[in-house]
């Protein structure tokens, strides 16, 4: 659960959790922003989002749920519109959407109807904090003792899968950065250890944004032994943008699953 700790939104922050389900990290973000803030939890997958709602029902203290809004859909489709014309904290809802609601209809009323989640993609105010815990190959979770963790890997389909994922990761990161307020923070994380899904994605997107527009800041993870490393500055003959040593790569070592965390700040 390092990514939300690393994002560290203060009370009252306006947070987007772009790929939130089933929601372990969302609840930490909610805890951080308290009642005064807003956490929009988005995911593409209805079944996983429903799991988030079920967990929210048990885990989110009464009252704090008012800070949680749900969205279903592709995180790449969010867009910021007329940022200065809408009053504080009033993201408009499209008329066709049901009102934002995360509670599950009570079972006492018979079989609960399927949950309907708002799908609004238009945002009128930028976010101060964004968590992009992106879909990935999950190479950090492979365990030779658990064949289910690698049975989907085969060549060449895995290479195509990796290429498709990196395109999605880049596009999600571009969108995330476009929704971020000046001086806002975005944490990009994967449970993959491959450079292609981590440093390469970050470097490609920051290069497109242009020098000096977004900086990599120190993840600030405590030193925890040899499983903890930093990002790599070059790979396959390519030099990445400055600052990869400030990222965190944890190698799977029996105690930890592998993952990667990069903290970005929009300059300005
Ligand atoms: C690594 S999991 C997120 C785990 C989650 N942050 C947590 O802590 O429970 C990645 C999620 O991304 C979702 N996803 C995949 N493609 C997406 C997209 N284009 N937009 C939004 N969510 C997407 C998947 O459904 C999956 O739930």
Find, among 61, 65, 132, 152, the residue nearest to 100 by Cα. 65
The partner residues of 68 in beta bridges, in order of sequence, read 39
The answer on whether 25 is annotated among ligand-binding residues is yes
The answer on whether 140 is annotated among ligand-binding residues is no
Instruction: Report how far Cα 223 is from the mean position of its chain's Cα atoms.
Output: 24
For the CA atoms of 212, 218, 219, 220, what is the dihedral angle to 10 degrees? -160
Closest atom of ligand 1 to CA, residue 191: 1
Q: What is the pLDDT along the chain (268 residues), one digit of tens a residue?
A: 899 999 999 999 999 999 999 999 999 999 999 888 999 999 999 999 999 988 888 777 767 778 899 999 999 999 998 765 444 444 444 444 444 455 555 555 566 666 788 888 899 999 999 999 999 999 998 887 888 888 777 777 788 889 999 999 999 999 999 999 999 999 999 999 999 999 999 999 999 998 899 999 999 877 777 889 999 999 999 999 999 999 999 998 878 889 999 999 999 7
Q: What's the 72 CA to ligand 1 centre distance in angstroms?
A: 11
Strands 38-43 and 14-17 turn out to be parallel
Domain ranges of the chain: 2-266
CATH 3.40.1350.10 is right for the domain spanning 2-266: no
Q: How far apart are CA 172 and CA 131, in angstroms?
A: 11
Instruction: Give every CB contact of residue 31 below 8 A, 6+ residues apart in sequence.
Output: 64
pLDDT computed for residue 99 by the predictor: 41
Q: What's the 85 CA to ligand 1 centre distance in angstroms?
A: 31
3-state SS string over the chain? Answer: CHHHHHHCCCCCCEEEECCCCCCHHHHHHHHHHCCCCEEEEEECCHHHHHHHHHHHHHHCCCCHHHHEEEEECCHHHCEECCCCCCCCCCCCCCCCCCCCCCCCCCHHHCCCCCCCCCCCCEECCCEEEEEEECCCCCHHHCECCEHHHCCCCCCCHHHHHHHHHHHHHHHHHHHHHHCEEEEEEEEEEECCCCHHHCHHHHHHHHHHHCCCCEEEECCCCCCCCCCEEECCCEECCEECCCCHHHCEEECCCCCCCCEEEEEEEECC
The answer on whether 133 is annotated among ligand-binding residues is yes
Instruction: Report how far Cα 238 is from the mean position of its chain's Cα atoms.
Output: 26
- Entry pTM: 0.91
Find, among 31, 109, 98, 96, the residue nearest to 70 by Cα. 98
Find, among 135, 145, 245, 118, the residue nearest to 192 by Cα. 135
Ligand 1 pocket at CB < 6 A: 18-25, 42-45, 48, 74-76, 133, 135, 168
Atom 6 (ligand 1) nearest CA: 20
At 250, list the tokens: 């944890």
| Residues labelled as active-site residues | 191
Closest atom of ligand 1 to CA, residue 52: 9
Instruction: Give every CB contact of residue 185 below 8 A, 6+ residues apart in sequence.
Output: 7, 8, 9, 128, 129, 130, 217, 263, 264, 265, 266
pLDDT computed for residue 86 by the predictor: 46
């Amino acid at each position: 659960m390092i990514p939300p700790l690393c994002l560290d939104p203060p009370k009252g922050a306006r947070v987007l959790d772009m790929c939130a389900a089933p929601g372990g990290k969302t609840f930490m973000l909610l805890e951080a922003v308290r009642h005064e803030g807003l956490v929009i939890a988005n995911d593409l997958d209805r079944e996983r989002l429903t799991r988030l709602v079920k967990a929210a029902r048990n885990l989110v203290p009464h009252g704090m749920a008012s800070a949680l809004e749900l969205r279903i859909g592709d995180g790449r489709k969010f867009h910021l519109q007329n940022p200065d014309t809408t009053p504080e904290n009033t993201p408009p809802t499209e008329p066709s959407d049901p009102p934002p609601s995360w509670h599950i209809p009570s079972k006492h009323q018979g079989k609960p109807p399927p949950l309907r989640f708002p799908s609004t993609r238009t945002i009128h105010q930028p976010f101060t904090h964004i968590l992009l815990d992106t879909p990935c190959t999950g190479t950090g979770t492979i365990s030779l003792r658990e064949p289910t963790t690698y049975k989907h890997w085969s060549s060449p389909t895995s290479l195509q899968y990796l290429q498709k994922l990196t395109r999605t990761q880049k596009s999600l990161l571009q969108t995330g950065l476009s929704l971020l307020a000046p001086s806002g923070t975005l944490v990009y994380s994967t449970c993959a250890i491959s450079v292609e899904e981590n440093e390469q994605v970050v470097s490609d997107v920051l290069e497109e944004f242009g020098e000096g527009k977004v900086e990599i800041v120190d993840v600030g993870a405590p030193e925890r032994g040899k499983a903890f490393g930093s990002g790599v500055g070059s790979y396959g003959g390519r030099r990445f943008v400055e600052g990869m040593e400030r990222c965190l790569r944890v190698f799977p070592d029996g105690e930890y699953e592998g993952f990667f965390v990069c903290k970005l700040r929009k300059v300005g």
